[in-house]
Structure 1
Amino acid sequence: MKSMSAEDSRPASRYAMIRQVLHDAIVNGAAAHGLVLLEAPLADLFGTSRVPVRKALNLLHDEGLISRFDGRGYLVNPDGGKIEPLRLTLTHKQFGLDSSEELVDTRPLGERMFDEIGAALSTCIAFGHYRLDEQSAAEYYGVSRAVVREALMRLRDRGLVEKEPYSQWLAGPLTAREVTEDYELRACLEPEALRQTAPDLSRETLEAMLARVVRAQNSGQCSLAQIEQIEEDLHHRCLAGLKNRKIATLIRQGQSPMIISRIFYSQLGIGPDDAMLAEHRLILELLLHGAFDAAALNLKEHLHRARQRMLQRLKVLSVLPEQEVPGYLTKLS
């Protein structure tokens, strides 16, 4: 297994990575039958909180690779038979991995909490209005309240939460109006930003971005991490050289499209559509040919079309069952 890259360390993909490592170890026979899998030791091994570990274990249980027993945790039990618990210290070796392989998330705690809480909010605010309790979140993740508050302040800057005068943190609801306003704002700002930043983009960078889009088109499927990377490439990395920080902040706050995409992927397994990939590809190809004005014009058209696609997806979400949320979030409406 390869080392985790920055794009693979996002919480939405972290549970998938953990699930894949455990899945491969079980299927390949590296993980002994009967091995007891506990959340806390696995969280330590992977350098994460228990939340993605719990989700990974639930998925493996649904797949019939592990089973519950009269004790804490799960047993490696791909055959589904009666089996004795094998309690061993969980190490790289237990899963057929080399001890030099980097599974630990070495990012600062504040960065990890920013991602963890942001992911939790992203999966629920399409379904209503929520209140977030700082102390409960700190206890849930096993961190200090100051770390949670730091993450929430950053999430407020991204437009995911707001703070009420009486110190309540609120999030959602994500509505059609908010999606429309996000796209209208981005359609005004991003094309002009691209005109300013495009001349400084290196050919190597653009070719790498284009290659990711082409791979997604050819494979016909994408992981959530790949989808987010493609979106990040065009809408943030291409604009990273923008000198007007206020405009850059406003662009960065347009979170609703990726929130909807995350929910769509996690609930329905649906990634980007062909039109989205084709639009990204055309813009990147124009940038590579130095046609900056044409690229900006096509970016504006892409945002208008993307708005309609996201509004349609939001309608679909309205009939889906609500996702389970962490205990530190309370639904208000």
Structure 2
Amino acid sequence: MLANAGSSNKQQQEGRAPRYVMIEASLREAMRARRLPANMILLEGPIARLFGTSRGPVRKALELLHEQGLISRFEGRGFLATPDPDAVTPTREPLTPEMLGLDIDERPAVDTRPAAERIYAQVEEAVATCLAFGHFRIVETVLSEHYGVSRTVAREVLGRLRNQRLIEKDRHSHWLAGPLTAQAVAEDYEIRVLLEPAALKASGPLLEHGELEAMRAEVRHLIDHPECQSAAAILRLEQGLHQRCLRHYRNRKAREMIAQSQLPVIVNRIFFQTLGVPPDEPLLMEHKLVLDHLSFGAYDAAASSLQSHLQAAAERTRRRLKVLSVFPEPDLPPYLVKIT
């Protein structure tokens, strides 16, 4: 099972390859197939527009191709699509999608989100994964190079992770992640047991009946169809019960404390990704009971059931963290450096 999980994780990482990897591969293939003339000047701006990206990923892709000896610098600005610049007469021919093998229907959609928003989920996933496997330093410069973004963008992403208590800064201004300890998980559950039932009791009457019925239907479907149970499906359930169902709670400070006490979710997500969802996972029936009470307007009973669920989940998570501690460290991005 672990081997299959490792293969799946690797495929997921490949599916989330940084933009510069895709751009580098496209340019290399275009030169190999001779769609790009050897005397063509390659500039960051036109390439970025065709790929719907900023210049950062394009700059890194061109630098890599230059390091590999596939292209050459042109008068300090841009590159020539050849390793032998003396053998060609440079031309400023317009770059077209066809030259790069980008048919109109297959051209990448322009992602207008800010750079920090585009990479945040990938960085969060990598950091969350490393937490259970020791103490890591996050190298800001390597992170920015890995995703082809500026140091400012990298710092913005890391700042958001710090606000979520996933990472911290030491006295030397180094970004650190982990180790995720049983004590830290226990403290988070203690906070959640104290705050979430009260938040649910206050928020429950403001939830729409249709929304609750949709959540109940999803839980019943997973209970009746174990083959559909996955780490992603469980994460959706957890977000539904512990975030969406609490969102009408008016105590802003308490909501923030709940949001910053989600380390247990990371443990269970990594556990399910590594070993799969256990048969007869009790979380499903516990969620169903809470949602049933909410649907029928029994808010005191819903709060009590949520408290029981969190207390049982605390013990399960403690055991799962212990199991994870004996597994080998997964493949991680180069900006995560383990501290020995």
Same fold by TM-score greater than 0.5:
yes
Alignment of 1:63-78 (within 5 A): none
Alignment of 1:89-108 (within 5 A): 107-108=113-114
> Which of 251, 254, 257 is the matching residue for 1:247?
254
Separation in 2 of the partners of 1:229 and 1:273?
18
Separation in 1 of the partners of 2:155 and 2:169?
11
Whether the 8 Å contact between 1:286 and 1:295 is mirrored in structure 2 is: yes
Please tell me whether Structure 1 or Structure 2 has the larger radius of gyration of its CA atoms: 2
Q: How far apart are residue 170 of structure 1 and its match?
A: 0.9
Task: Please name the residue that 1:260 is paired with.
Answer: 267
Separation in 1 of the partners of 2:254 and 2:125?
25
* SS of match in other structure, 1:127: coil
Task: Please name the residue that 2:295 is paired with.
Answer: 288
> Which of 146, 152, 157 is the matching residue for 2:152?
146
The amino acid that maps onto 2:299 is F
The amino acid that maps onto 1:199 is P
Distance 1:104 1:285, change over 3 A: farther
Alignment of 1:129-140 (within 5 A): 129-140=135-146
Distance 1:325 1:168, change over 3 A: same
* SS of match in other structure, 2:152: helix
Q: Does 2:310 correspond to 1:303?
A: yes
Q: TM-score, normalised by structure 2?
A: 0.69
Aligned length: 265
> Which of 192, 197, 202 is the matching residue for 1:191?
197
Mind listing any 5+ residue stretches in structure 2 that lack a counterpart?
1-7, 27-49, 58-98
Distance 1:226 1:105, change over 3 A: farther
Q: How far apart are residue 256 of structure 1 and its match?
A: 1.7
Q: CA RMSD in A?
A: 3.4
Deviations 1:82-107 (A, max 9, x none): xxxxxx966689xxxx769x977664
Task: Please name the residue that 1:212 is paired with.
Answer: 218
Q: How far apart are residue 269 of structure 1 and its match?
A: 2.9
The amino acid that maps onto 1:126 is A
Q: Does 2:47 correspond to 1:40?
A: no
Task: Please name the residue that 1:228 is paired with.
Answer: 235
The amino acid that maps onto 1:216 is L
Mind listing any 5+ residue stretches in structure 1 that lack a counterpart?
1-11, 20-37, 51-87
Q: TM-score, normalised by structure 1?
A: 0.70
Deviations 1:26-75 (A, max 9, x none): xxxxxxxxxxxx9415899899x99xxxxxxxxxxxxxxxxxxxxxxxxx
Deviations 1:80-133 (A, max 9, x none): xxxxxxxx966689xxxx769x97766432223221111001111111111111
Whether the 8 Å contact between 1:13 and 1:224 is mirrored in structure 2 is: no
The amino acid that maps onto 2:310 is L
Task: Please name the residue that 1:181 is paired with.
Answer: 187
* SS of match in other structure, 1:325: coil
Separation in 2 of the partners of 1:212 and 1:135?
42
Separation in 2 of the partners of 1:172 and 1:201?
36
* SS of match in other structure, 2:246: coil
Whether the 8 Å contact between 2:204 and 2:294 is mirrored in structure 1 is: yes
The amino acid that maps onto 2:22 is A
Separation in 1 of the partners of 2:191 and 2:328?
30
Separation in 2 of the partners of 1:108 and 1:207?
35
